[in-house]
Amino acid sequence: MKVAVLTLGCKVNECESRSVITELRACGAEVTEEQTYADVYVVNTCSVTAEADRKSRQYARKCLRFNPNARIYITGCSSMNDPAPFNRIENVVYIGGTSKKSEIVQRIMSDIAGSERINISQPPTVYENMCLPAHEKTRDYIKIQDGCNNFCSYCIIPYLRGRCRSRSIESIVEEATAAALRTKEIVLTGIDVSSYGKDIGLSLADAVKALGSLNVRKRLSSFECTVIDDKLLEALSASGFNDHFHLSLQSGCDNVLKAMNRHYDCERYLKAVELIRKYFPDAGITTDIIAGFPSESEKDFENTCSFVKQVGFADMHVFPYSERKGTRAAEMTQLPMELRRQRAAVLGKIKNELKREFLKAQAGKTLSVYFEEKENEIACGYSTNYVRVYAKDVEPGEIADITVTKLYKEGVI
């Protein structure tokens, strides 16, 4: 039996899909992650935006082009949000939500969809362990928590993933230890990594310290400025974590942050950045920005532009605000989409300027780089502070100290 597991969305979905893939292979199935012919398709969906919902449905329909007789299993955030559109797609035999994804394996291998085609349960109140996935990539992600308690006014994910649930330290260490045998870099990820441990009497610093002895490069995925303090930064430094911090911002204006229900202001964010640079002077600090949020005035937008320049980000992901049905922000008075796109374009230019400045500052420095691929005779990979580095005379899979001479393509050489 050939099974295609197709994954949309975040790294948490990827982690969960890898567990499903590992279980399927253990049962003797041939598994691919490519959009190709298969007997069975598992579509792990995303619902972070309306476009993600549309793409999830598109993936499900596309399966029938490869095999009109295939059985299709749906899981993830989009089907959790609204199973009805998937129920109308031909050959869909099972629709699940964001939990109990391992049940899909049992249903596939027994060749039954079950008595209930739609089987969506509420997210659990404690962390749901899945089988330890096989780690086969040059950089691998390890899920340490699920759910979110923040309820940002633009985000639907807390309603679909449930409240914060933290994975046990022992389980994290077990998977990270296994991953370190096959990959040279691991990234701790989750729906809200910053909240790790709050439900089980621990903290993110505790998880960081538990991995300190592993001989592998280590990173954190996106997290909040509210968790930045001396305890965490000391743990990151002592445990050999890379000096890259994807510190979510969303807006550089206090009025907009309040409307977004973000739990900090610009002053607190800036203090977090300053503290990071105290411990990690060459840190690459990256972020996300939403342009054109419903309450964002022209002055608010100007404040955001000034603030991101003040921080001096190494890179930014900029998005025009997109209404998400079911969120409080979608009920607010919306700005014209053209204005949102214009503001995103302005921030995009600032992003390019800031990135160029950060890259130019790397000239003459020696960076530790994990090379992952090769283009012609030039290998490329990322430094600890997440600079794209190109170099000759190295091979993919190597970690090497590289002295930067100049800017090259989207990075340095």
Q: In CATH, what number is assigned to the domain containing residue 319?
A: 3.80.30.20
165 with 146: CB under 8 angstroms? yes
> Could you tell me the two tokens for 211?
């991995």
- Note whether 320 and 178 are same-domain residues: yes
List phi, psi (to 5°) of 234.
-65, -40
- Note whether 153 and 27 are same-domain residues: no
- Note whether 195 and 333 are same-domain residues: yes
Which of 89, 110, 131 finishes a domain? 110
- Which residues face 95 on adjacent strands? 74, 118
- Note whether 350 and 370 are same-domain residues: no
List phi, psi (to 5°) of 369.
-120, 135
133 in a domain, yes or no?
no
- Note whether 217 and 315 are same-domain residues: yes
CA distances from 66 to 29, 44, 61, 377 (A): 18, 18, 10, 36
307 in a domain, yes or no?
yes
- Note whether 339 and 220 are same-domain residues: yes
Torsion over CA of 225, 352, 244 and 368, rounded to 10 degrees?
-170
- Note whether 376 and 247 are same-domain residues: no
Cα–Cα nearest to 59, from 1, 114, 13: 13
Alpha helices in 327-372 (DSSP H): 337-360
- Note whether 307 and 173 are same-domain residues: yes
Question: Could you read off the pLDDT tens digit of each residue along the chain, which spans 413 residues?
Answer: 999 999 999 999 999 999 999 999 999 999 999 999 999 999 999 999 999 999 999 999 999 999 999 999 999 999 999 999 999 999 999 999 999 999 899 999 987 555 578 889 899 999 999 999 988 888 899 999 999 999 999 999 999 999 999 999 999 999 999 999 999 999 999 999 999 999 999 999 999 999 999 999 999 999 999 999 999 999 999 999 999 999 999 999 999 999 999 999 999 999 999 999 999 999 999 999 999 999 999 999 999 999 999 999 999 999 999 999 999 999 999 999 999 999 999 999 999 999 999 999 999 999 999 999 998 899 999 999 999 999 999 999 999 999 999 999 999 99
- Note whether 223 and 337 are same-domain residues: yes
pLDDT, residue 112, reads 59
Looking at the structure of the chain, the number of domains it has is 3
- Which residues face 245 on adjacent strands? 285
Alpha helices in 222-294 (DSSP H): 230-238, 254-259, 266-279
What are the pLDDT digits (tens) for 176-216?
999 999 999 999 999 999 999 999 999 999 999 999 999 99
270 in a domain, yes or no?
yes
186 Cβ contact partners less than 8 Å away, ≥ 6 residues apart? 139, 140, 141, 142, 176, 179, 180, 211, 214, 216, 217, 218, 219
> Could you tell me the two tokens for 314?
């190494």
Q: In CATH, what number is assigned to the domain containing residue 13?
A: 3.40.50.12160
pLDDT, residue 393, reads 93
pLDDT, residue 115, reads 55
- Note whether 210 and 304 are same-domain residues: yes
314 with 385: CB under 8 angstroms? yes
pLDDT, residue 332, reads 97
Burial of 267 (0-12, 13-18, 19+ CB in 10 A): exposed
Strands 165-166 and 139-146: antiparallel
- Note whether 172 and 253 are same-domain residues: yes
Cα–Cα nearest to 124, from 107, 151, 100: 100
CA distances from 155 to 28, 158, 171, 261, 317 (A): 39, 7, 29, 10, 17
pLDDT, residue 136, reads 81
Amino acid at site 413: I
267 in a domain, yes or no?
yes
pLDDT, residue 135, reads 84
325 with 154: CB under 8 angstroms? no
